[in-house]
Every structure is written in C-alpha cells, then in structure tokens.
Structure 1
Amino acid sequence: MSQVAMLFGSETEVLADEFQIAGFERFSTVDWPGKLVATLFAQGCPWRCTYCHNPDMQDSQVAGTVEWSAVLAHLAHRMGQLDGVVFSGGEPTRQASLIPAMQQVRSLGFGVGLHSAGAYPARLREALGFVDWLGLDIKAMPEGYQDVTGKSAAGPKAWQSLEIALEWGGDLEVRLTVDPTTHTRESVLSVIKRVRAMGGPTPVLQEARAEGTSEEFQRALGSQLLTSVLSGSDLEGLVVRA
C-alpha cells in the first residue's frame, strides 16, 4: 500500500488517478510568486473567455494527456528541489478528483498552489483546506462577465468565490486580465475598488495576450494593450504582470 493510501485511504488514491491533466510544466518560476514549482493544467472549463489562450483545454469531454502516475514519478525525484505544485487550467475546481490529487501532493511534502476563476464556489471552499496559495481571477464586475466569459451566471459565482477566499484568510493573489475588447477604464477601476472594499488585496493586472487566442479575438485586439485602457496615472501603485 502506498503512503497516500495509508494516509487517506485507497479511495483517495484511485480518485487522484482520475484527474484529467491537459499539460504538465515540470519547472516554473512564474506560476506561484517567489516559488519554484511544477504546474499542472487541468482539462475542462465551463467558460469561454474572449482572451483564453488555452482553448484546447476548455472541452471537459476530452481525456487528459498526462497520467497522474507520471506526475507522481516526477515529484518523487524533485523532493527538496521544488517548493510546490500549482494546479491550473482550464478550471481545476471543475474536477472532484482535484482534492485527492492535492492530498497526494501534500503527503509528499510539497506546497499546493491553485489557479482558479471561481467557477465552482462550493468546490473551491472545500479545496482551500489543502491550499497554501491561491491565485484567483476576477474578470469583471458581476454584470460584465457575460461579455468576457459568454456566461451570464459566471459573475455571481466568481464574486462569491472571492468572498470564500477572503473568509479562508490564506495567501491570496487576485488577478484581473485587462481585455481592451471588453473592458473600459471605468470597469477595470470599479473591479479594483470593489475588491479593496471587500478587504481583498489590490488585484494584479495582466495583459490580454493574442498568442493562442481565437482569430476573432486577435482581430479585435489588434495592437491594443493594457495601456490602451488605463493611463500611466491609473497604474501608479498597481502591479502589472505581462
């Protein structure tokens, strides 16, 4: 019996094996600020964001391309060399097997990071019990989510997830990708103001990248940048991540 099965039971071990992985970055310095990590990209996402650069990861019916056993084998040889493992996506909280997978990672002595857009608040609440750092995407004010994600119900779920993350009280980074095709100066500044008013950290701003996105988005984006939406004075005191 493996160490994980002894700690959490054989059912947990089986469920972790079901985690659908679309990609595996064995070494990353950018997915968890200040940490050296391996990053897993979960298959499947319920939203269709305008600027999504991983569209192949959206379909939840597509099988994973990386075996969980291969991830564990890699981690077994990286103990003491990596600080942790980041679960990204896609949307990792879509999968019930996320939590057993996190448990396995923790049992090996690695920290756990999570990237989420907050699409599944209940699952996020449960997962946070096994998370050391959360990067939560807040994409717009609630009423603006339809334009960004194509889903009108997405906004309330994302902002509920932010409330859950703040109640959790752990290490949280809120990120906002500035999309010049849907965002205005006022809408971006409104998100920043509301997150702060809730007691959250000032969102880190990210550029919407054309690479990997749909041809429609690339045409709409053109040469526009984050600075097409926000001025230099708007950006004073804010963190921008390319």
Structure 2
Amino acid sequence: MTSAAHAFIVSPWTARIRIGAFNPAAEHDWPGRRTATLFLHGCPWRCAYCHNPELQSRSSMRLLSWEKIATELATHRHTIDGVVFSGGEPTADSCLPDAILAVKGMGFAVGLHTSGAYPERLEKVLPLLDWVGFDLKSDYDGYDTLTGAPGSAARATRSAQLIVASGVTHEFRLTWHHELLSEDAALLAAHFAQHLGAQRFVLQVFRPEGVTHPAIAAHSLPSADLVEQIRGLFTDFELRGELCGLAI
C-alpha cells in the first residue's frame, strides 16, 4: 500500500467531506424555519434547470473546512432553527452520515435536500433526519431524459417510497419548466406522489438564478389549470416562487 493510499484510509471524515458552500441564514430551505445550509459537492444527474451546477463535480478544489462550518454553527446556535444538507446531491458524499450525527450532537434539527439518486444511502440516513425535501423531477418515463442518467427513474421511485414509509416529515417538490416537462408528465408525477401518500406537495416555479444551461428559456410559468389540478390532489399544496437551496 502506498503512503498516499494509507493516508486516505486513515483520514477522518472531517478531512474528506467536500463542502462547496455554506449559507448561515437561509430563509427558504426548510419551510417555516430559518436554517444554516451546507452544500456538498457531487451529483450524478445533469438536469438542465440545475441552479447549482458548480456543485455537480466531486473534483472541485473550492472547499470549506468542517472546522470552519462547526465554528459558524456554534456562532449561530441561537439564531437558526435547524441545519439543512443540500447540494449537489448530498448523499453522493460518503461522509454525510458522520456530518449529520455531528450536527445533531450540537443540538440542531437536521433536514436534507435530495433527488433520491442514491436510495441505498438515503435509507441509512433517514432515521437521523427531522425533515426531507425530495426533488421529484418528472413522471417515470421522462426521468432519464431530464436527468441525463439511465436508471434514474427507478432510483428516484425507490427513494420516494423510502421517504414516505420512514414517517419523516417531508415535502415533494416538482420544478416546472415548459421546455422540460409537459403538463401531462407533471400531473402523472403529482399523482405518483399522491398515490404514495406524500404529506406535502410543492410546485416550484422555475427561476433562472445560477442556471448555466444555454438552451432553455429564462422564464416559464405553469398554467392556472395545471396548478389547480395538482392542488386538488393534496390537502397541503404550495405554488412556490422563491428559490430553495441556492449555493451562495
């Protein structure tokens, strides 16, 4: 074994976690709570409307230290209502469970933003969470095209099932863009969430902040008819305009 490989194996998780950004006072990342939000590097999907594309790669050298984050959390202990792990796709980081336990050890409630790309990893952290924001992308048939990743529909479906079955408080949110999602696909996705028993459903209006894909329109509003059809499926529904989980 080389010395470099040995050093990696024995490195503590605090040296391996890849934190790309931190917002100490987020207003919209966990409904009803003011949170600190950590953005982890890594995502296997390439959605055209992604507003944190700089976090998709795991190889970025723009990293924040865990020690800095822990100090910031201690500083804001009395001004925030919880900590959210976002991304990227936070379950792409193998150090996520350790980080969640560390944050809970500091006395914070913990939330997670996830697309469900890694259901086996999500299943392991669900018992540690107080809230989950699940990014539902499309109906089953449209998933692989939207994410650019074969097999993503099956992974997202399994993750959605795990979230609802876990009993952890959650919301399913679907981002609307007319060039990427048809009204029929949006309705099928909403019916899927209703069938599972999702507690809360959010239809998110596309926002161009952070989006670097050059081929999609900068503005896209869902029709009133689509909004009302989806609203009718859920007792807890929101049409959301503000941008959640933007790395700053």
TM-score by length of 1: 0.88
Number of aligned residue pairs: 229
Contact 1:195–1:202 (CA under 8 A) maintained in structure 2: no
What SS is found at the alignment partner of 2:25? strand
Q: Distance in 2 between matches of 1:77 and 1:35?
A: 18
TM-score by length of 2: 0.86
Residue correspondence of structure 1 range 135-174 to structure 2 within 5 A = 135-174=133-172
Identity of aligned residues (%): 34
Q: Distance in 2 between matches of 1:110 and 1:169?
A: 19
Contact 2:137–2:143 (CA under 8 A) maintained in structure 1: yes
Q: Distance in 2 between matches of 1:113 and 1:223?
A: 29
Greater RCO (Cα-Cα under 8 Å, separation 6 or more): 2
> Residue 224 of structure 1 aligns with which residue?
220
Offset of 1:235 from its aligned partner? Answer: 5.5
Q: Which of 224, 229, 234 matches 1:234?
A: 229
Contact 2:21–2:39 (CA under 8 A) maintained in structure 1: yes
* C-alpha distance 77-49 of structure 1, shift in aligned 2 (>3 A): same
Offset of 1:14 from its aligned partner? Answer: 2.1
Q: Distance in 2 between matches of 1:168 and 1:133?
A: 11
Q: Which of 23, 38, 41 matches 1:40?
A: 38
Q: Distance in 2 between matches of 1:103 and 1:133?
A: 15
Query: Which residue identity lines up with residue 240 of structure 1 in the other structure?
Result: L
Offset of 1:213 from its aligned partner? Answer: 1.7
Residue correspondence of structure 1 range 77-88 to structure 2 within 5 A = 77-88=75-86
Q: Distance in 2 between matches of 1:16 and 1:112?
A: 18
* C-alpha distance 191-134 of structure 1, shift in aligned 2 (>3 A): same
Residues 53-76 of structure 1 show CA distances to partners (whole Å, capped at 9, x for unaligned) of 111111112135211100100111
Q: Distance in 2 between matches of 1:124 and 1:210?
A: 28
Asked if residue 211 in structure 1 is aligned to residue 175 in structure 2, the reply is no
Offset of 1:39 from its aligned partner? Answer: 0.3
* C-alpha distance 73-222 of structure 1, shift in aligned 2 (>3 A): closer
Q: Distance in 2 between matches of 1:97 and 1:205?
A: 31
> Residue 5 of structure 1 aligns with which residue?
none
> Residue 120 of structure 1 aligns with which residue?
118
> Residue 185 of structure 1 aligns with which residue?
183
Point out where structure 2 has 5 or more consecutive residues left out of the alignment: 1-8, 242-248
Q: Distance in 1 between matches of 2:174 and 2:131?
A: 17
Query: Which residue identity lines up with residue 79 of structure 1 in the other structure?
Result: R
* C-alpha distance 202-86 of structure 1, shift in aligned 2 (>3 A): closer
What SS is found at the alignment partner of 1:23? strand
Offset of 1:35 from its aligned partner? Answer: 1.1
Q: Distance in 1 between matches of 2:62 and 2:10?
A: 19
Q: Which has the larger displacement, 202-211 or 153-162?
A: 202-211
Q: Distance in 2 between matches of 1:12 and 1:171?
A: 36
User: How large is the RMSD of aligned CA atoms in angstroms?
Assistant: 2.0
* C-alpha distance 224-83 of structure 1, shift in aligned 2 (>3 A): closer
Contact 1:138–1:159 (CA under 8 A) maintained in structure 2: no
Point out where structure 1 has 5 or more consecutive residues left out of the alignment: 1-10
Q: Distance in 1 between matches of 2:31 and 2:218?
A: 30
* C-alpha distance 223-168 of structure 1, shift in aligned 2 (>3 A): closer
